[in-house]
Structure 1
């Protein structure tokens, strides 16, 4: 398998996951505001900019993070590399260049989602059409992943798809926990309905509310949410599950020792974390360390499989990831 193909497939999966996660964030925030008092609604859009890591580019162009600016920026702004349209554009291009390695149905589905977003951006910004617009994106991305699961051979290409998906998922999960908990955890213990509602929105941002309630049969509390989203190994969008899945994928690839070592260090940190204590102090530092760990995993994957080592002009682009498996 060529390094170029492996890299494109990896980033294809990351961009599709990014588009789905961003659509869900906007959808959950829109619904959350219906349950909050009017005075609290103006502050709920700005965290989305920090979760997606695009605060620098956003505030270079916008003076305040109001609903229209944030939703426009995160849905269809091609100057924002993290917008839904940008992510789907990059994913589509990566898939176009690797179509021989991917199921035909996956290309058709991704192309359909891309065209829908491109042609219906006004509905995404408008509160009236936003719910349908975002649901179509989420379902389209899930159908795309379903086609891959149902029709893709379990080869190297599939390993890189799963690596990209779970790397992006772990990154987004830690970002959501870091930004959202910064405002919620200091008030832990206050019996206010709004804190409870906001923690529910954190769970819904990862489609985890139902699974959480099945595991924790009490009211939604910040420390319990952190326990579940960091350490539960069975729900697909928790940090622990993502790291375990990354390790499993790497075991199917050669020369993965360095990357697996990075994964094990991050996984050990998650398992050993005293979440009850973190709920009151040092959570931000803990999440920062996890983010650094995820960066090290990505760098190890990139250095092992994606870096082109030029031998000569004719063979540089055809350097294989490994000896053929």
Structure 2
């Protein structure tokens, strides 16, 4: 496969996954704020997770709900807004229309065309929760079309690679919010902290799964264990790195990025939570994000450089 084709497929899927994750973060922030949470405590994490705090403050200053929503959803100047993510996804999909199934292209294109017609007034009419549900639904539809229509060739695997590398980054960033001082032994916390960690679970659709697996109260260590170590959890770091490693083994078993992904997966698969969090959850998350970025850079150098 031409490297430029692989590049388009990879970034198409990464940006669709990113748009979905931003919608998940915003939906949880909105629900927390409606339940009486402090406005800054509810909305600041959405900026922290997407890495746009400094740019937001330069443009808007104080963290308030309406400005954060506008910045994260519709602002074309924000490269991590849902608007920008879906625009980039559509541009990349258009570049490989001859490679992807017609159904997949039509879903991505129609999503972008509908989003272009949404302004602040329409967003307020629809409601943030309804909008976020629509974004998640469209992302799920894209993945469904990918699975049900694409030939299992290199094109399919680069689409999946982008999805799971982006997902691992977002799960790690989500865990990083309020992670300072958290270890594998942090089981008893205040009611407000429980509310935060329950929101973390809800943002990745894992709250019911957590309750099904344990009768314990929601705790930082319990959430970390599930979202880092659990191989049955679709958005856990373990699952993401397992999938990334398997895909790279299929594409090129001898590539340097394949070795890096395998090493990252082995640390999660064979490690213990107490060992991984020996220096604190915040240190683990910071190192994971650095390693994940390095893996993404190596994938780009090995496969995605323009030819």
User: d(CA) in 2 for partners of 1:221 and 1:204?
Assistant: 14
Q: Distance in 1 between matches of 2:157 and 2:187?
A: 43
Whole-Å separation in 2 of the counterparts to 1:257 and 1:17 = 25
Shift of 1:282: 2.3
Given that 1:229 and 1:238 are in contact with CA atoms closer than 8 Å, whether structure 2 keeps it comes out as yes
Q: TM-score, normalised by structure 1?
A: 0.87
Write out per-residue CA displacement over residues 268-317 of structure 1, whole angstroms, 9 at most, x where no aligned residue: 33346553577695221111111121112112211111124xxxxxxxx4
What is residue 25 of structure 2 aligned with on the other side?
25
Task: Tell me how far 1:220 sits from its aligned partner.
Answer: 1.2
Name the CA shift for 1:23/1:123 in 2 (closer, same or farther; >3 Å): farther
**Which runs of no fewer than 5 residues in structure 1 stay unpaired?**
309-316, 318-325
CA contact (8 A) 1:10 1:163 kept: yes
Number of residue pairs aligned between Structure 1 and Structure 2 = 307
Distance in 2 (alpha carbons) for counterparts of 1:31 and 1:192: 19
Cross-structure match for 2:205: 207
Q: Deviations over 1:105-139 (max 9, x none)?
A: 11111122212222123257538621111111110
Listed as ranges, the gaps of 5+ residues in structure 2 are: none
Structure 1 pair 271–254 and aligned structure 2 pair: CA distance change class (3 A)? closer
Give the whole-Å Cα distance in 2 for the aligned partners of 1:251 and 1:73: 39
Greater CA drift, 175-184 or 13-22:
175-184
Deviations 1:58-81 (A, max 9, x none): 122121111111111100111110
Name the CA distance, whole Å, in 1 between partners of 2:275 and 2:36: 28
Alignment-derived partner of residue 43 in structure 1: 41
Task: Give the Å deviation of 1:154.
Answer: 0.1
Following superposition of structure 1 onto structure 2, how do residues 122-201 of structure 1 map, counting pairs within 5 Å? 122=120, 126=124, 129-182=127-180, 192-201=190-199
Partner of 1:16: 16
TM-score, with structure 2 as normaliser: 0.92
Match of 1:90 in 2: 88
- Give the 3 Å change call, closer, same or farther, for CA 169–290 of structure 1 in structure 2: same
